[in-house]
Chain A
Amino acid sequence: MSQVNRLSGGLVDRETALDFSFDGKRYQGVAGDTLASALLANGVRLMGRSFKYHRPRGVLSAGSEEPNALVELRDGARREPNTRATCVELYDGLLANSQNRIGSLRFDAMAVNDLLSPFLAAGFYYKTFMWPRAFWEKVYEPIIRNAAGLGRLSKQEDPDSYDKGFLHCDLLIVGAGPAGLAAALTAGRSGKRVILADEDFRMGGRLNCETFALGDQSGADWAAATVAELTGMDNVRLLPRTTVLGAFDHGIYAAVERVSDHLTQPAANRVRQTLWRIYASRTLLTAGATERPVAFENNDRPGIMLAGAMRSYANRWAVTPGQKVAVFTNNDDGLRTAVDLAAKGVTIAAVIDSRKDATPLEGFNHLRGALVVNSRGRLGLREISVRLADGSLHKIACDALGVSGGWNPNVQLTCHQRGRPVWDDTLAAFVPGGSLPTGMSVAGAAMGDMTTTGALVSGARAAMEALELSGSAPDMPQAEDAPCSPTPLWFVSEGKGRAWVDLQNDVTVKDVKLSHQEGFVSVEHLKRYTTLGMATDQGKTSNVTALAVMAELTGKTIPETGTTIFRPPYTPVAIGAFAGRSSGKDFRPTRLTPSHKWAGEQGAEFVEVGAWLRAQWFPKAGESSWRQSVDREVLAVRKSVGVCDVTTLGKIDVQGADAATFLNRIYCNGFAKLAVGKVRYGLMLREDGMAMDDGTAARMAEDHFVVTTTTANAVGISRHMEFARQCLWPDLDVTLISTTEAWAQYAVAGPNARKLLQKIVDPEFDISNEAFPFMGCGEITVCGGLRARLFRISFSGELAFELAVPTQYGDALIRRLMAEGEEFDVVAYGTETLGVLRIEKGHAAGNELNGQTSALNLGMGRMVSKKKDSIGSILSEREGMTADRHRFVGFKAVNAGDAVVAGAHLMNKGSVENAANDQGWVSSAAYSPVLGSSIGIGFLVDGDTRLGEIMVAANPLEGSSVNVEVVSAHFVDPDGERLRG
């Protein structure tokens, strides 16, 4: 079809023809078209099927308030459902399809729903589909699910990227119509930092859609000239194609910029959209107003649209919506649609004006005191029925009807921080209320200032006030100033059929009446019962009409009926924009250990430990299962020597004259008297007496300790210690700083650990057992003078040390250790082996320190010193804490082949497996290659007196139960002889 409805003029570039397809058919449009304007230009009126009744629908509006013309844009992985055709900037090769139909748009099989409409009124699903009960899950729900929704997701991974960004400004202006442009000009010329955002690709708002003159220029020319001047200002940032979607606390706004949606696809490395977080000292909302229709029977046919939208299509896009156009209005604004279209040579069939006393419009068939009461033309408007003032009924042939019920200021952003709008009787509309978000003011039509002069002047003045500029606002060009006073008409009561209020969710005047009849009278109930205003258009063309209907039914005024709250986002936002770059592997930053590169070369398997990647085990050739690797590593460590990267454990440097005093209060056990050159195991309690974290503190000097924490709690313990330092004891002489990252640290463990280290540690440092006993520490040098720290501590239960060097040398150190260790058959071991070794030794770790266990439970009750104050000590003595009889013990599988499972609960043999009989739980478990059996550790009621008992480790969730023997948790070297040699 050629562009049968194309008119002359407009703001489009006829020289640039663009090919596009809709529902498989090829069309042409021009640069500057939207998909909606291009379809209308080609005579296409049928653009969609409604949500519930599958009624044929055409485009209602020319903007983001569009409820009907929702299409699936693009195909393949980039297919985007529910895209408003009015907001799609046409590009060459654009592909779009209508949605929500079975079959074609013309022959939708689901249109049968329209025939079933008496059964599908509001809330029908609360009253039907109840019997038989079994049918709900298997029959009704699947059918309803299939029928529900509008567009379809591609279900493929989004191939596009999205950015986030952060902008700061003195004044954020939301909306670049006449008010916003006047404000931007005023603010920009003052030198302040300004951001001007508009959802459209061409700034100017209504100036691009009306035929008003501004001074001696057209509105569109003035807008373009203003944009050009603003573009030249360094202090002004223009953000077209950008929707400010929400007003958040303290002047923070979110805006989504559609960077590449108007291109076939984003250019290489470019994002599709950017989500901006804007920090605005002040904000001016100049978002304009949205027109509202009038409801009447069958008011939803393709070809029936908002009268203002018709002017937009005619004046901006040079498109007539039809060949024979009628207008239905309750205000002067609607009359201009007839005038503007007639000026372009379009035949105006009639102007139906509900106002009996309106000034007659010369040269037009102006029917005053008349109402449109019905329409015909299922796939496209053919005829309207009009009730004249004298009561007679006339049919008027037309293929397009422009409807104007007045304009609603776009107040949404003023309400995002709990504000409610207030009713203005003159405008018969809601305007911003008194409580606005911090720093926000409103001007132009958004404030209820509906004329062009009003917009220009109020925009400029508002900018002056917002920025506290002295002097007077810049002069604005002369423009029209005609007041807009609609005579309220919300719906035409004549007619037995359905009159639509919410076009997208298919909610009719009858539904509002039904809601009232059923007792859902409050506006909050009305919304949820009928689903009015809950679709993707959030009721932009329906909310106020619905309130008016309910108000009439209840005998209240509209302000008495109230409104529901508006929440972000103003229009739908792709989830990808909220994710930004945080997707896939980049979901969050990754922390790599100093030995990461080396471990990768060894083919290590890695595991995520918080943000860290740690080597989990190091498979060797011929090993097909992780158990083989881990068993081998465990045996090798206990037989000779192994090396493990333990850099990830938190390290906190504590210095000051009161360092020891401070640590003495942080740990439940004593540190005041720890000698220089010694390390001690420490347990930290939470203030409520529960175990919080464990680690070691090494005294490097009188006033200098190095504290370690578990990997998982490194950040939290730092925070906790800073709280104690700054808030609890602000005058203690103690400083803290994290050194987790600054030192690479390796555990060297096994009977040959010392021998290996003696090849690394410089000869002037004696690390014999006599010179460097168990739990000693010191500053040394290695490999010919490199500064290092050595700690003789053992997590594995073997003779062990931890060696730390500045991180940049960590890679070289592991390579040197492994090379020098070859003569001892040194193994590298990962976190799995680390875990097996410490379970065999009976050391508590994260699973045991889960915040639900006390020192008593852990068998460390005596560590909690009663002689000094420490965090948690008082509340650890509470009766409820001391009465808890769970004690830390070990478990060994009775049958060699059985696996003890962490998380299993302990039951007496023969008792019913339920919570009442719960005796405790297994917190950690592993296969011990040393014992040749699966073992576990955990907490058992009176466990310390039940050694030897056989219990059931119950795992009902996975359907297994295993007999276990209660044993000491210290499976290997219980007397600690290996540690001290």
Chain B
Amino acid sequence: MDNLKAITPLGSSTPRQDQVAGVTLVENCDVALASVAQRMGATISGLDLPAVGKSLAGDPFSVFWTAPGQWMIEAPMNSHEDIVPALLQHLDGAVSITEQSGGWARFDISGEGTIPVLERLVMLDLDALQPGDTARSTLDHIGVFLIRRGAQKFTLYAPRSSAASLHHALLQAMRAVL
């Protein structure tokens, strides 16, 4: 039997890219995701876990903090699609793991003008979000994780079902501001 093929959150076979002036908005479908949560009285070992509001890059697993005792793991989709068994092998201790890859749409936004664009949409103090920091808030009424990757570089994770609305809001803000 033929394997099933995935489509992107925006409903295409290829991820979307947009550019307005100096800002690029890229749909990123190359990342597998899993949520890990600490169980009562246990600590998770096998992976360095970042502190509140921080992220840690790693190979193959990167991690960002999501809640007290809870983190989201990123790994390359092409090598770690079945991320739950991969993590079960890697981690020690009582831990809850759920696959989250299908649940999120990821957009990477970068370039000169990224901050003014995000100022239209996100109520967080972006100055206080340093590279490596992460925060969960809303973007135009859609829940998002923001991870600041650089001075003018952000990753946004939003619920997959709202990908089209999120993309529309971002592109509209880019066109209005840049």
Contacts and interface: CB of A to CB of B under 8 A. Distances in A.
B175 interface: yes
Contact of B102 (A597, A741, A783): A741
B162 interface: yes
A785 to B, nearest CB: 7
B80 to A, nearest CB: 13
B39 A813 contact: no
B18 interface: no
A686 to B, nearest CB: 25
Given A589-B165, A735-B39, A742-B103, A269 B98 contact: no
Contact of B164 (A581, A592, A816): A592
A559 interface: no
Interface stretch (B55-63, B115-123, B147-155): B115-123
Interface string B131-174: 00000000011100000000000000001111111101100110
A597 to B, nearest CB: 5
Contacts of A812: 4-7
Contact of A166 (B37, B123, B163, B176): B123
Nearest to B6: A808
Interface string B12-54: 0000000000000000010000010111110000000000000
Interface stretch (A176-184, A318-326, A651-659): A651-659
Contact of B2 (A653, A739, A784): A784
B99 interface: yes
Given A592-B161, A806-B101, A167 B119 contact: yes
Contact of A816 (B4, B70, B128): B4
B96 interface: yes
Given A168-B125, A193-B127, A591-B161, A737 B98 contact: yes
A733 B98 contact: no
Counting chain A CB atoms within 10 Å of each CB, the highest count among B39, B70, B164 belongs to B39
A805 B4 contact: yes
Nearest to B84: A787
Contacts of A586: 165, 168-169
Nearest to A731: B40
A581 B9 CA distance: 22
B89 to A, nearest CB: 16
A271 B98 contact: no
Interface string A687-698: 000000000000
B4 A742 contact: no
A807 interface: yes
Given A589-B141, A656-B40, A813-B4, A741 B96 contact: no
Contact of A589 (B2, B40, B126, B166): B166
A743 interface: yes
A816 B1 CA distance: 11
A809 interface: yes
Contacts of B140: 581, 589
B37 A735 contact: yes
Interface string A330-356: 000000000000000000000000000
A244 B120 CA distance: 17
Nearest to A271: B176
Counting chain B CB atoms within 10 Å of each CB, the highest count among A582, A591, A813 belongs to A591
Counting chain B CB atoms within 10 Å of each CB, the highest count among A589, A744, A782 belongs to A589
A655 B39 CA distance: 9
A742 B39 contact: no
Interface string B102-120: 1110000000000000011
Contact of A163 (B4, B29, B120): B120
A99 B2 CA distance: 72
A93 to B, nearest CB: 24
B119 A166 contact: yes
A163 B173 contact: yes
Contacts of B122: 166
| Chain A interface category by residue count | 35 or more
A593 B161 contact: yes
B92 interface: no
B4 A597 contact: no
Given A581-B172, A589-B142, A733-B40, A743 B2 contact: no
A274 B121 CA distance: 12
Interface of A is mostly: mixed
Contacts of B8: 808
Counting chain A CB atoms within 10 Å of each CB, the highest count among B69, B96, B168, B169 belongs to B96
B7 A808 contact: yes
Contact of A596 (B11, B37, B98): B11
Given A735-B96, A809-B6, A657 B102 contact: no
B20 to A, nearest CB: 9
A806 B70 contact: no
B78 interface: no
Contacts of A592: 11, 161-164
Counting chain B CB atoms within 10 Å of each CB, the highest count among A269, A731, A782 belongs to A269
A167 to B, nearest CB: 7
Interface in A705-761: 731-735, 737-744
A909 interface: no
Contact of B3 (A274, A732, A785): A785
B154 to A, nearest CB: 15
A735 B70 contact: yes
A808 B3 contact: no
Contacts of B166: 589
B159 A741 contact: yes
B27 to A, nearest CB: 12
Counting chain A CB atoms within 10 Å of each CB, the highest count among B2, B38, B39, B102 belongs to B102
A813 B96 CA distance: 28
B165 A269 contact: no
A780 to B, nearest CB: 14
A786 interface: yes
Interface in A793-826: 805-813, 816
Contacts of A810: 102
A786 B164 contact: no
B161 A161 contact: no
A929 B6 CA distance: 37
A411 B175 CA distance: 38
Contacts of A582: 141
A193 B37 CA distance: 38
A593 B162 CA distance: 9
A597 B3 contact: no
A164 B177 CA distance: 12
A739 B3 contact: no
A655 B125 contact: no
Given A165-B120, A655-B37, A783 B103 contact: no
B169 A581 contact: yes
Given A731-B40, A784-B2, A811 B103 contact: no
Contacts of B39: 655-657, 733, 735
A270 interface: yes
A771 to B, nearest CB: 20
A787 B69 CA distance: 27
B6 A783 contact: no
A762 B69 CA distance: 37
A656 B3 contact: no
A277 interface: yes
Nearest to B12: A597
25 contacts: A168-B125, A193-B127, A270-B176, A588-B141, A589-B140, A589-B141, A589-B165, A590-B162, A592-B164, A657-B94, A733-B39, A735-B39, A737-B98, A741-B160, A742-B101, A742-B102, A743-B102, A744-B102, A762-B1, A783-B3, A786-B3, A806-B6, A806-B99, A807-B160, A812-B6
Q: Which 9 A-B pairs have the closest CB atoms?
A: A807-B102, A742-B103, A741-B103, A733-B40, A655-B96, A812-B4, A591-B161, A808-B6, A589-B165
Given A279-B125, A589-B142, A783-B1, 9 more contacts: A166-B120, A269-B175, A270-B176, A581-B172, A592-B161, A656-B96, A657-B39, A734-B40, A813-B4
Interface of B: 1-9, 11, 29, 35, 37-41, 69-70, 82, 94, 96, 98-104, 119-120, 122-128, 140-142, 159-166, 168-169, 172-173, 175-176
